[in-house]
Every structure is written in structure tokens, then in C-alpha cells.
């Protein structure tokens, strides 16, 4: 049921971190994977890695903030291969208290996390609804539902991603297209590298997981493959949390003597 053989998957943000792991994971499950990233060299490196592992991979450049470019890429690849799966992983975060945020910083985060995801959702939805099938997977975060001081804009955008996915699921569903979101906890990626380098931050975040550790990019692959595959044929408008139990144990308290 989790086999992706015969499906073409566009993985955006495939040049590193979660996107790289998901791209390689989809290739391992038999999909033809198009690795897309704003860094074309990085996308080509991952595609070559997937091909060397026996996968069918290609690469290209894509900036999700460029709406017309996103539309062109989806239309071109749909004409060549048919787009069955679209997975969008990019996000940025500027960690600052609200009162210290600049207009430029606000625009940067909104442009990538909201406008970028919307561009992908719209382009993917356009080609998939026409073909009456497809799976779109956006990436949110636990910050969509639990906050941390200094991450107001990031949290707001990640909540927005979930609402985009839900709305698109309702709009695209009658056309046979599924839309879901994956919400990771703290994962070791280039985005979180500055925090990981600070031992106090690393330990504090690790303690929030019931496993007392951070997640790894490859631990997001299972959720992505599930949502991309026919195993999730009746799953749409959902958010899959991959957070090591963070939300389940958030606010936990161990009574004395236990």
C-alpha cells in the first residue's frame, strides 16, 4: 500500500534537511522524484544521490516565492510526467520578540512560509484537479499549536499552513485531490543548526520530547510516504504530528515519589 511506483513526486526544498530525506525516501519507495530547490546545485547533489541508490531522480531550480515560476514548473513537469505528488518543505524563521521585529523581517518570513506555500498549493492544485487525482503535502510545525516567545511570526505562519491545507482539502477533494500537512517537532536540520550548537538550547529542546532527544530528518519520511501513497486514500485535511511526543507531554509534571 505504501508503494509509490508509477508516481511522479515533486519535492520542493529537496536540497537539504527534511526535504532531502523525503526526496530520497520517496525514491526508495519507487517514485520518480523531481528534486527542486532554490539552490540548484544542492538539488542536483540529492538527485544524483538518489539515482546512485537505484532511484529515478532529476533536479531543477525553484524559488517558491516566485509565483509565475512555480506555475511554469508545475505545468511543464505535469505535461512531461504528470504530477501525482507535491511536497513542499521550505520555511524560514527569524527568532525575535514581536517588539524587535522589523518590517523587512516580517515580509521575509511571510513571503516564504505563507506566500511560498500558497504558490505551491495553487500550482499543484491547478494541475492535479484537472487530472482528477493527486496528493499535496505541506509542512507545518508544532509551533502551529504551541508557542514559544520569540517565534510569533513563525508560529502564525505555521498555523496558516495548516489552514491552507484544510481549505484546499475541502476545495480540491471533489476533484479527487488530497491535501494534508506534516507538523514536525524539533528536527536536526540546517534551519535549527544555530540552536543545536548551543548546548543549553539543545538539552532544553531534547527534554521536551518523551525520548529526550531531537528528531532526525529521516524520521519524517514515513509520514510523507504514507500521505503520498494509496495507503492514505481517505486521508485529507489532516495534520500528522511527528514530534517525539512533545505535544502529548507538553506541560507534564512528575509528582514527588514517582
Catalytic residue annotation: 154
Classify burial at 115, counting beta carbons within 10 Å of its beta carbon; exposed 0-12, middle 13-18, buried 19 or more: middle
Q: What pairs with residue 57 in β-bridges?
A: 33
Distance CA 57, CA 51 (A): 6
The 3-state DSSP class for residue 183 equals strand
Q: What is the CA radius of gyration of the chain?
A: 18
Distance CA 128, CA 55 (A): 24
Cell of 50: 538518489
Amino acid at each position: 500500500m505504501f508503494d509509490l511506483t508509477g508516481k511522479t513526486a515533486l519535492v520542493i526544498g529537496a536540497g537539504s534537511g527534511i526535504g532531502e530525506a523525503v526526496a530520497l525516501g520517496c525514491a526508495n519507495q519507487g517514485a520518480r522524484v523531481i528534486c527542486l530547490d532554490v539552490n540548484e546545485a544542492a538539488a542536483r547533489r540529492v538527485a544524483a544521490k538518489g539515482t546512485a541508490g537505484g532511484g529515478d531522480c532529476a533536479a531543477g531550480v525553484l524559488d517558491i516565492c516566485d509565483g509565475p515560476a512555480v506555475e511554469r514548473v508545475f505545468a511543464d513537469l505535469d505535461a512531461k510526467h504528470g504530477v501525482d505528488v507535491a511536497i513542499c518543505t521550505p520555511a524560514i524563521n527569524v527568532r525575535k520578540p514581536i517588539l524587535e521585529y522589523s518590517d523587512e523581517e516580517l515580509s521575509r518570513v511571510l513571503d516564504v512560509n505563507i506566500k511560498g506555500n500558497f504558490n505551491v498549493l495553487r500550482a499543484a492544485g491547478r494541475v492535479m484537479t484537472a487530472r482528477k487525482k493527486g496528493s499535496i503535502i505541506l509542512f507545518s510545525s508544532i509551533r502551529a499549536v504551541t508557542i514559544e516567545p520569540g517565534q510569533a511570526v513563525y508560529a502564525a505562519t505555521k498555523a496558516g499552513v495548516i489552514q491552507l491545507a484544510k481549505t484546499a482539502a475541502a476545495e480540491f477533494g471533489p476533484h479527487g485531490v488530497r491535501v494534508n500537512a506534516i507538523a514536525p517537532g524539533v528536527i536536526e536540520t540546517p534551519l535549527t543548526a544555530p540552536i543545536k550548537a548551543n548546548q543549553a538550547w539543545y538539552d532544553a529542546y531534547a527534554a521536551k520530547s518523551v525520548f529526550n532527544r531531537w528528531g532526525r530528518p529521516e524520521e519524517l519520511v514515513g509520514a510523507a510516504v504514507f500521505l503520498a501513497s494509496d495507503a492514505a486514500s481517505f486521508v485529507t485535511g489532516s495534520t500528522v504530528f511527528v514530534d517525539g511526543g512533545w505535544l502529548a507531554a507538553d506541560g507534564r509534571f512528575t509528582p514527588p515519589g514517582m
